[in-house]
Amino acid sequence: MNPVQKNEYRGHEPQNDTPQKPPYDAAHIAREEKTRAVWKHFHTIADKYDFMNTFLSLGIHHLWKRRAVKMMGLKENDLVIDVCGGTGDLARRAVRAMQYQGQVIIYDINSAMMLKGLEKIRKMGLEDHICCVQGNAESLSFPSHLFDAAMIGFGIRNVTNREACLREIYRVLKPGGKFMCLEFSLPASSWFRALYDFYSFRVMPLLGKHIAGSREAYLHLPESIRRFPLPPVFAEMIRDAGFSDVSHTSMTKGIVVVYQGCKK
Ligand SMILES: C[S@@+](CC[C@H](N)C(=O)[O-])C[C@H]1O[C@@H](n2cnc3c(N)ncnc32)[C@H](O)[C@@H]1O
Protein backbone atom coordinates (compact mmCIF):
# COMPACT_ATOMS: atom_id res chain seq x y z
CA MET A 1 0.00 0.00 0.00
CA ASN A 2 1.22 3.51 -0.76
CA PRO A 3 2.32 4.92 2.60
CA VAL A 4 1.36 8.42 1.52
CA GLN A 5 -2.39 8.86 1.15
CA LYS A 6 -3.43 11.38 -1.50
CA ASN A 7 -6.56 13.46 -1.16
CA GLU A 8 -8.62 14.50 -4.12
CA TYR A 9 -6.71 17.75 -4.60
CA ARG A 10 -4.04 17.02 -7.21
CA GLY A 11 -3.55 20.45 -8.77
CA HIS A 12 -0.12 20.70 -7.18
CA GLU A 13 1.57 17.83 -9.02
CA PRO A 14 3.43 19.01 -12.16
CA GLN A 15 1.04 18.50 -15.06
CA ASN A 16 1.50 18.39 -18.82
CA ASP A 17 1.49 21.84 -20.34
CA THR A 18 -2.14 21.72 -21.35
CA PRO A 19 -3.71 25.12 -22.07
CA GLN A 20 -5.70 26.58 -19.17
CA LYS A 21 -9.43 26.85 -19.83
CA PRO A 22 -12.07 28.93 -18.09
CA PRO A 23 -12.77 29.36 -15.16
CA TYR A 24 -8.99 29.87 -14.82
CA ASP A 25 -8.14 33.57 -14.93
CA ALA A 26 -4.68 35.22 -14.79
CA ALA A 27 -4.71 35.43 -10.98
CA HIS A 28 -5.69 31.77 -10.70
CA ILE A 29 -2.88 30.73 -13.07
CA ALA A 30 -0.37 32.84 -11.11
CA ARG A 31 -1.46 31.12 -7.88
CA GLU A 32 -1.22 27.67 -9.47
CA GLU A 33 2.25 28.54 -10.76
CA LYS A 34 3.44 29.66 -7.35
CA THR A 35 2.15 26.45 -5.75
CA ARG A 36 3.83 24.40 -8.48
CA ALA A 37 7.13 26.30 -8.04
CA VAL A 38 7.03 25.56 -4.29
CA TRP A 39 6.30 21.90 -5.05
CA LYS A 40 9.29 21.73 -7.42
CA HIS A 41 11.54 23.51 -4.95
CA PHE A 42 10.93 20.96 -2.19
CA HIS A 43 10.98 18.05 -4.62
CA THR A 44 14.50 19.09 -5.69
CA ILE A 45 15.89 19.36 -2.18
CA ALA A 46 13.90 16.61 -0.36
CA ASP A 47 16.87 14.23 -0.08
CA LYS A 48 19.13 16.89 1.42
CA TYR A 49 16.48 18.86 3.33
CA ASP A 50 17.17 17.54 6.85
CA PHE A 51 20.93 17.65 6.47
CA MET A 52 20.85 21.21 5.09
CA ASN A 53 18.58 22.41 7.93
CA THR A 54 21.03 21.15 10.52
CA PHE A 55 24.08 22.33 8.60
CA LEU A 56 22.82 25.84 7.81
CA SER A 57 21.35 26.49 11.27
CA LEU A 58 24.30 24.80 13.07
CA GLY A 59 21.72 22.49 14.62
CA ILE A 60 19.72 25.32 16.24
CA HIS A 61 16.53 24.39 14.35
CA HIS A 62 16.22 21.36 16.64
CA LEU A 63 16.10 23.68 19.68
CA TRP A 64 13.50 25.92 18.02
CA LYS A 65 11.32 22.94 17.17
CA ARG A 66 11.70 21.38 20.62
CA ARG A 67 10.73 24.60 22.35
CA ALA A 68 7.82 25.29 20.01
CA VAL A 69 6.30 21.83 20.54
CA LYS A 70 6.82 22.12 24.29
CA MET A 71 4.92 25.42 24.28
CA MET A 72 1.88 23.62 22.82
CA GLY A 73 1.36 21.66 26.05
CA LEU A 74 0.18 18.53 24.23
CA LYS A 75 -1.53 15.83 26.29
CA GLU A 76 -1.56 12.05 26.05
CA ASN A 77 -3.97 10.75 23.38
CA ASP A 78 -4.21 14.07 21.54
CA LEU A 79 -4.85 13.99 17.80
CA VAL A 80 -2.55 16.49 16.10
CA ILE A 81 -2.20 17.73 12.53
CA ASP A 82 1.24 18.84 11.32
CA VAL A 83 0.37 21.04 8.35
CA CYS A 84 3.21 21.41 5.80
CA GLY A 85 4.86 18.75 7.96
CA GLY A 86 7.50 17.79 5.38
CA THR A 87 9.99 15.28 6.74
CA GLY A 88 8.19 15.19 10.10
CA ASP A 89 10.55 16.80 12.64
CA LEU A 90 7.68 18.45 14.51
CA ALA A 91 5.50 15.34 14.25
CA ARG A 92 8.14 13.14 15.87
CA ARG A 93 8.66 15.68 18.64
CA ALA A 94 4.92 15.88 19.22
CA VAL A 95 4.67 12.09 19.62
CA ARG A 96 7.45 12.24 22.23
CA ALA A 97 5.69 15.13 24.00
CA MET A 98 2.53 12.99 24.22
CA GLN A 99 4.55 10.18 25.87
CA TYR A 100 4.04 7.99 22.76
CA GLN A 101 0.28 7.98 23.48
CA GLY A 102 -1.07 10.21 20.71
CA GLN A 103 -1.44 10.42 16.94
CA VAL A 104 -0.03 12.91 14.44
CA ILE A 105 -1.02 13.35 10.81
CA ILE A 106 1.60 14.95 8.59
CA TYR A 107 -0.20 16.88 5.86
CA ASP A 108 1.98 18.08 3.00
CA ILE A 109 1.72 18.79 -0.71
CA ASN A 110 4.99 17.02 -1.46
CA SER A 111 5.26 13.24 -1.36
CA ALA A 112 9.07 13.30 -1.72
CA MET A 113 9.39 15.21 1.56
CA MET A 114 7.01 12.88 3.41
CA LEU A 115 8.63 9.72 2.01
CA LYS A 116 11.97 10.99 3.33
CA GLY A 117 10.35 11.53 6.72
CA LEU A 118 8.79 8.07 6.66
CA GLU A 119 12.27 6.52 6.58
CA LYS A 120 13.00 8.11 9.98
CA ILE A 121 9.53 7.36 11.33
CA ARG A 122 10.02 3.67 10.53
CA LYS A 123 13.56 3.60 11.92
CA MET A 124 12.23 5.03 15.17
CA GLY A 125 9.30 2.60 15.24
CA LEU A 126 6.74 5.43 15.23
CA GLU A 127 4.51 4.09 12.41
CA ASP A 128 1.63 3.52 14.84
CA HIS A 129 1.70 7.17 15.87
CA ILE A 130 2.36 9.10 12.66
CA CYS A 131 0.81 8.88 9.21
CA CYS A 132 1.08 11.06 6.13
CA VAL A 133 -1.59 12.56 3.91
CA GLN A 134 -0.76 14.41 0.72
CA GLY A 135 -2.72 17.55 -0.04
CA ASN A 136 -2.78 21.31 -0.24
CA ALA A 137 -2.85 23.15 3.09
CA GLU A 138 -5.38 25.56 1.59
CA SER A 139 -8.04 22.83 1.65
CA LEU A 140 -7.52 20.24 4.36
CA SER A 141 -9.24 16.94 3.57
CA PHE A 142 -10.65 16.42 7.07
CA PRO A 143 -14.00 17.07 8.70
CA SER A 144 -14.44 20.08 10.98
CA HIS A 145 -13.73 19.95 14.75
CA LEU A 146 -11.50 16.86 14.56
CA PHE A 147 -8.06 17.76 15.97
CA ASP A 148 -6.95 18.65 19.50
CA ALA A 149 -4.00 20.62 18.18
CA ALA A 150 -2.51 21.87 14.92
CA MET A 151 0.98 23.01 14.11
CA ILE A 152 2.75 24.38 11.07
CA GLY A 153 6.52 24.76 11.06
CA PHE A 154 8.32 26.86 8.44
CA GLY A 155 5.42 26.11 6.11
CA ILE A 156 2.93 28.99 6.05
CA ARG A 157 5.49 31.24 4.30
CA ASN A 158 5.38 28.87 1.32
CA VAL A 159 1.59 28.61 1.10
CA THR A 160 0.08 30.71 -1.67
CA ASN A 161 -3.21 31.56 0.08
CA ARG A 162 -2.22 31.93 3.73
CA GLU A 163 -5.62 33.22 4.83
CA ALA A 164 -7.30 30.10 3.41
CA CYS A 165 -4.76 27.89 5.15
CA LEU A 166 -5.32 29.56 8.55
CA ARG A 167 -9.10 29.34 8.13
CA GLU A 168 -8.81 25.64 7.29
CA ILE A 169 -6.65 24.96 10.34
CA TYR A 170 -9.22 26.78 12.48
CA ARG A 171 -12.03 24.72 10.93
CA VAL A 172 -10.47 21.30 11.61
CA LEU A 173 -9.62 22.12 15.26
CA LYS A 174 -11.99 21.15 18.05
CA PRO A 175 -13.31 23.99 20.24
CA GLY A 176 -10.50 24.50 22.76
CA GLY A 177 -7.97 23.24 20.20
CA LYS A 178 -4.50 24.78 20.16
CA PHE A 179 -2.62 26.23 17.22
CA MET A 180 1.12 26.75 16.93
CA CYS A 181 3.00 28.24 14.01
CA LEU A 182 6.79 28.36 13.91
CA GLU A 183 8.16 30.71 11.28
CA PHE A 184 11.22 32.71 10.35
CA SER A 185 11.28 36.45 10.83
CA LEU A 186 13.88 39.22 10.81
CA PRO A 187 16.21 40.22 13.68
CA ALA A 188 15.43 43.62 15.17
CA SER A 189 19.00 44.63 16.01
CA SER A 190 20.71 46.35 13.08
CA TRP A 191 24.20 44.86 13.52
CA PHE A 192 22.76 41.35 13.83
CA ARG A 193 20.53 41.98 10.84
CA ALA A 194 23.56 42.98 8.71
CA LEU A 195 25.33 39.77 9.70
CA TYR A 196 22.18 37.76 9.06
CA ASP A 197 21.71 39.35 5.60
CA PHE A 198 25.28 38.55 4.65
CA TYR A 199 24.89 34.94 5.73
CA SER A 200 21.46 34.59 4.07
CA PHE A 201 22.25 36.14 0.70
CA ARG A 202 25.95 35.35 0.26
CA VAL A 203 26.76 32.19 2.18
CA MET A 204 23.52 30.18 2.12
CA PRO A 205 22.88 30.16 -1.67
CA LEU A 206 26.51 29.14 -2.23
CA LEU A 207 26.26 26.25 0.22
CA GLY A 208 22.87 25.34 -1.28
CA LYS A 209 24.43 25.14 -4.74
CA HIS A 210 27.37 22.97 -3.71
CA ILE A 211 25.70 20.72 -1.15
CA ALA A 212 22.01 20.48 -2.10
CA GLY A 213 22.52 21.12 -5.82
CA SER A 214 20.21 24.15 -5.89
CA ARG A 215 21.34 27.75 -5.49
CA GLU A 216 17.80 28.94 -6.33
CA ALA A 217 16.20 26.95 -3.50
CA TYR A 218 18.46 28.55 -0.93
CA LEU A 219 18.07 32.00 -2.43
CA HIS A 220 14.30 31.57 -2.32
CA LEU A 221 14.55 30.99 1.46
CA PRO A 222 15.94 34.44 2.50
CA GLU A 223 13.83 36.20 -0.12
CA SER A 224 10.61 34.59 1.10
CA ILE A 225 11.51 35.42 4.72
CA ARG A 226 11.84 39.09 3.81
CA ARG A 227 8.48 39.07 2.04
CA PHE A 228 6.70 37.45 5.02
CA PRO A 229 4.66 39.80 7.27
CA LEU A 230 6.27 41.00 10.50
CA PRO A 231 5.06 39.30 13.72
CA PRO A 232 2.33 41.81 14.75
CA VAL A 233 0.86 41.72 11.23
CA PHE A 234 0.92 37.93 10.98
CA ALA A 235 -0.56 37.65 14.48
CA GLU A 236 -3.45 39.81 13.24
CA MET A 237 -3.95 37.42 10.31
CA ILE A 238 -4.22 34.56 12.79
CA ARG A 239 -6.85 36.54 14.74
CA ASP A 240 -8.71 37.27 11.50
CA ALA A 241 -8.94 33.51 10.87
CA GLY A 242 -10.93 33.27 14.12
CA PHE A 243 -8.30 32.39 16.73
CA SER A 244 -8.34 33.81 20.28
CA ASP A 245 -5.53 34.40 22.78
CA VAL A 246 -3.05 34.97 19.95
CA SER A 247 0.53 35.58 21.03
CA HIS A 248 3.96 35.63 19.43
CA THR A 249 7.31 34.81 21.03
CA SER A 250 10.67 35.54 19.41
CA MET A 251 13.67 33.24 19.63
CA THR A 252 17.34 33.72 18.70
CA LYS A 253 17.18 37.53 18.40
CA GLY A 254 14.02 37.38 16.29
CA ILE A 255 15.26 34.96 13.63
CA VAL A 256 12.26 32.76 14.39
CA VAL A 257 8.89 33.40 16.01
CA VAL A 258 6.44 31.02 17.67
CA TYR A 259 2.82 32.09 17.13
CA GLN A 260 0.12 30.56 19.29
CA GLY A 261 -3.64 30.73 19.28
CA CYS A 262 -6.69 28.88 20.49
CA LYS A 263 -10.08 28.01 19.00
CA LYS A 264 -12.65 29.07 21.58
C1 LIG B 1 10.35 24.39 4.89
S2 LIG B 1 9.44 22.90 4.79
C3 LIG B 1 9.01 22.63 6.49
C4 LIG B 1 8.91 21.17 6.83
C5 LIG B 1 8.73 20.87 8.32
N6 LIG B 1 7.51 21.45 8.84
C7 LIG B 1 9.91 21.35 9.12
O8 LIG B 1 9.70 22.18 10.02
O9 LIG B 1 11.02 20.92 8.86
C10 LIG B 1 7.92 23.45 4.10
C11 LIG B 1 6.99 22.33 3.71
O12 LIG B 1 5.74 22.91 3.32
C13 LIG B 1 5.21 22.15 2.26
N14 LIG B 1 4.21 22.97 1.55
C15 LIG B 1 4.44 24.12 0.88
N16 LIG B 1 3.29 24.60 0.38
C17 LIG B 1 2.31 23.74 0.76
C18 LIG B 1 0.92 23.70 0.56
N19 LIG B 1 0.27 24.65 -0.13
N20 LIG B 1 0.22 22.69 1.10
C21 LIG B 1 0.86 21.70 1.81
N22 LIG B 1 2.18 21.68 2.01
C23 LIG B 1 2.91 22.69 1.50
C24 LIG B 1 6.42 21.78 1.44
O25 LIG B 1 6.17 20.69 0.59
C26 LIG B 1 7.45 21.49 2.52
O27 LIG B 1 7.47 20.13 2.88
CB of 172 shorter than 6 A to ligand 1 = no
Ligand 1 centroid distance, CA of 254 (Å): 21
CB of 140 shorter than 6 A to ligand 1 = no
Nearest-CA residue for ligand 1 atom 1 is: 154
pLDDT at 6: 53
CB of 89 shorter than 6 A to ligand 1 = yes
- Pocket test of ligand 1: the residue of 158, 163, 214 to mutate, having most ligand atoms within 8 Å of its CB, is 158
Q: Across the 264 residues of the chain, what is the mean pLDDT of every consecutive 10-residue run?
A: 46 41 61 87 91 95 98 98 98 98 98 97 97 97 98 97 98 98 95 94 92 86 94 98 98 97 97
Residues 6+ positions from 161 with CB-CB distance below 8 Å: 31, 138
Predicted TM-score of the model (pTM): 0.90
Index of the ligand 1 atom closest to the CA of residue 110: 25
CB of 88 shorter than 6 A to ligand 1 = no
CB of 90 shorter than 6 A to ligand 1 = yes
Index of the ligand 1 atom closest to the CA of residue 50: 9
pLDDT at 185: 97
Topology of the domain covering 45-49+58-186+232-262: Rossmann fold (3.40.50)
- 71-122: pLDDT as tens digits: 999 999 999 999 999 999 999 999 999 999 999 999 999 999 999 999 999 9
Ligand 1 centroid distance, CA of 114 (Å): 10
Burial class (CB in 10 A: 0-12, 13-18, 19+), 164: middle
pLDDT at 5: 60
CB of 86 shorter than 6 A to ligand 1 = yes
- Pocket test of ligand 1: the residue of 61, 108, 172 to mutate, having most ligand atoms within 8 Å of its CB, is 108
Nearest-CA residue for ligand 1 atom 26 is: 86
Nearest-CA residue for ligand 1 atom 8 is: 153
